[in-house]
Chains A and B, each alone.
Chain A
Amino acid sequence: MLIELGHFALILAFALAFAQAGVGFAFWKRGGAAAAFVQQSAILQFVLVGASFAALTQAFIVSDFSVKLVYEHSHSIQPMLYKITSVWGNHEGSMLLFVLILVLFGAAVAAFSRNLPDDLRTLVLSMQGVMVAAFSAFVLFTSNPFWRFDPAPIDGTELNPVLQDIGLALHPPLLYLGYVGFSVCFSFATAALISGRIDAAWARWVRPWTLASWAFLTLGIAMGSYWAYYELGWGGWWFWDPVENASFMPWLAGTALLHSAIVMEKRNALKVWTIFLAIITFSLSLLGTFLVRSGVLTSVHSFASDPTRGTVILAMLAALIGGAFTLFALRASALRSGGLFAPISREGALILNNLFLSAATAGVLVGTLYPLVLEALTGARITVGAPFFDLTFGALMVPLLLLIPFGPFLAWKRGDLAAVTQRLMGAIIATVLVTIIVFTLLGFPVSLAPLGLGLGFWVMLGAIAELFDKAAFRRAGFRRGLARLKGLPRTVWSTAIAHFGVGVTVLGVVFATAFQTEIVTSMRQGESAEIAGYTVHYDGEQMLEGPNYIAERGTFRIIAPWGTTSRLTSERRVYAVSRMPTTEAGINTYGLSQMYVQFGERFGADGRVVRLWHKPYVLLIWLGAIIMAGAGFLSLTDRRMRIGAPQAARRKRPEAAQ
């Protein structure tokens, strides 16, 4: 009964969204009742889709196998957490989650944008209404999760064991919060084009949504990367796989948007470009959804994809993006840019940032779609793998990373590069020293790795230098400097912290790529192997029974170079229902480094094939991402960020921020 109510609630939400879009677009100039209806409708949709999602979740919790989706993706002996995550561990449920987050953002806009002009808010919500209508129709007509069986089967067929992990509880919701959050930016962009209201205020209203989506997407990608790293069992954290690229492209474009919106907010320039980026970022999110859901590209992360439904998403994508770009082509020429500036200036630096990020996005896009195009044209089947992306993306990131520390130092309108270099001298000297030390410690190897590390240190030290410079320790003395440091606006802090996070991730990437060691060996019980100064001792295996699987568990003792001993277990499981085998890698963490053990096939009477990795400082990769996301959330708490915060607040910024 609840399932039918849930189904009905979704149909109501669809109809309401349809009405919201219709009323909104027809009467957006009038305000009054139409504006109020659109606002209330957006909030009501969230209640309806929330109820619908709750009904489906309830069916999974009580294992109601008369519901087809529950039968196909759950089982009564699955632990409760995985019963719940099964809701979105499949195509239909994950699309319902997509709609849920879409209406969540719609309701958030309706609730938190009371200070927005009526016409702009109505247009934004109408555009959200179009998307809710499109995606809930997609769920209802092509991917309905509410169908039932009669008679009901006795038990279900289990969630894919690879997905039975805490990662599924976190990764898809975070990723969708990011992807779908950009729909608000998209709606703001189309609303601006329709109403012709594109100014610094517009940029200030959009920025919190961009920031929040970007921070969630950062966390979502990092979580997905760490999950793939420990679950897939091949020790990799990024494969340049189409599905990964699909989430990375909106991130790159979103990062560019975040920076260009600053120029628009502060200097009333780059308007056309910012609008374009807002449209492109969400378009790339939709493209990502299409790539993941359709299975048109071979991916290691594809689950339950379905080509026929992919075509429908492609059509929706074409309509939404095509519509937005038509609007853009018609109206963009009417926008006038203000604010002249010299090439060397804060504006110039942010443009350069945008250039490199867009070029990198284009590179990733070409690499991701080229196999499709080439196969359609010539029939040749190719893979564009890591070498392509390392070359193009890597080469584009080097100048960008080199330039990051300069950006925040440059003045608006006209900057002085020589003076900035002088103020960065401390960071430059420190970076050179650290790089020389690294080279010396490694014995002057002929490789790019120490330079990569230097680059990471440079970005980190540059961020610290920015804070110190803004606090003016040299001029004001230590005490007053400290007070000024505390008084810096949170947006200044968050810029420095986010850039610091980029440096941390770069360090992690270089360390884990260039300095990891790996061996594959066969070990008998009692034998040991040496790797990177660690001794790995194989103590044997035992059978054990989990809640819904049986496992062969290998136990290892690891003696660290400094003498401490710790235990590590690694398993091969077979899940009871699907009979599917999985490997659970054993991972021990030493500070920021990890020892990673994959337990392989049996060998002889008591031997096992074992693959060992030592991953130095690998945790920095994800730590950096968490720092970046944290900086995004910190920036959101700045009072100047509050939506509709009065202009006057801007003038009160401390002089230290000059």
Chain B
Amino acid sequence: MAMTRKQKRLAVISGMGLVLALAAALIFTALRDQIVFFYSPSEIAEKAVQPGTPIRMGGLVLEGSWKQEGEVNSFIVHDGQTRMTANYTGILPDLFREGQGVVTEGSLQLDGTFLATNVLARHDENYMPREVADTLREQGVWQGEEE
């Protein structure tokens, strides 16, 4: 078992290399497969997002579109051009409002609606999700203050 100095060093370095290669491989695979894209309703139409792919969708909740039956909610998200009906079962965040920004997580269904598994909460009355603000600015419907 007597290893020479050189062999010891080689063993340590190859062991380290192995762990690092494993970590790098993990990170790259995960970055390819496990990231979630954010789209506005218009982008969903443009980019032909496949039903079933997990995505985030954000925009403004259309005034008067929120329907509620017990725990089952439906509302329309729009970005000034395109509208998308979202369905969500659960309790909406405290600051969910018609006419305000929202970010939902879920996937497109075969019937063209969006099934949300999560509606993201905000903590602050003035807070507009950054992605939503950017999208709205691109579509020219941004009404908030300029940064």
Contacts and interface: CB of A to CB of B under 8 A. Distances in A.
Given A342-B3, A351-B12, A520-B90, A388 B23 contact: no
B120 interface: yes
B141 interface: no
Contact of B147 (A301, A307, A355, A396): A307
A372 to B, nearest CB: 11
Interface residues of B, number: 43
B64 interface: no
A520 B124 contact: no
Interface stretch (A95-103, A311-319, A377-385, A629-637): A377-385
A303 B122 CA distance: 10
B34 A387 contact: yes
Contact of A381 (B26, B70, B131, B147): B131
A522 interface: yes
| Secondary structure class of chain B's binding surface, majority of residues | mixed
Contact of A603 (B56, B70, B94): B70
Nearest to A295: B130
Contact of B121 (A300, A343, A348): A300
Interface string B64-88: 0000101100000000000000000
Contact of B26 (A295, A391, A582, A607): A391
Residue in A295, A340, A343 with the greatest tally of chain B CB atoms within 10 Å: A343
A115 interface: no
Given A343-B11, A583-B94, A598-B91, A382 B36 contact: yes
Contacts of B34: 384-385, 387-388, 391
Nearest to A387: B34
Given A348-B12, A581-B95, A382 B26 contact: no
Nearest to B68: A601
A359 B19 contact: yes
A580 B125 contact: yes
A520 B89 contact: yes
Contacts of B89: 520
Interface in A336-392: 340-343, 348, 351-352, 355-356, 359-360, 362-363, 366-367, 370, 380-385, 387-388, 391-392
B110 interface: no
A298 B131 contact: yes
A521 B90 CA distance: 8
B23 to A, nearest CB: 4
B48 interface: no
Contacts of B36: 382-385
A517 B127 CA distance: 32
Contacts of B121: 232, 234, 300
A124 B85 CA distance: 60
Interface string B112-126: 000000001101110
Contact of A340 (B8, B22, B35): B8
Contacts of B127: 302
Interface of B: 3, 5, 8, 11-12, 15-16, 19-20, 22-23, 26-27, 29-31, 34-39, 56, 68, 70-71, 89-92, 94-95, 120-121, 123-125, 127, 129-131, 134, 147
Given A233-B94, A384-B35, A520-B71, 14 more contacts: A298-B130, A300-B120, A355-B20, A363-B27, A366-B31, A381-B131, A388-B31, A396-B26, A520-B89, A581-B95, A582-B94, A583-B94, A609-B90, A611-B71
10 contacts: A233-B94, A348-B12, A355-B20, A356-B19, A359-B19, A384-B36, A520-B89, A580-B95, A603-B71, A607-B70
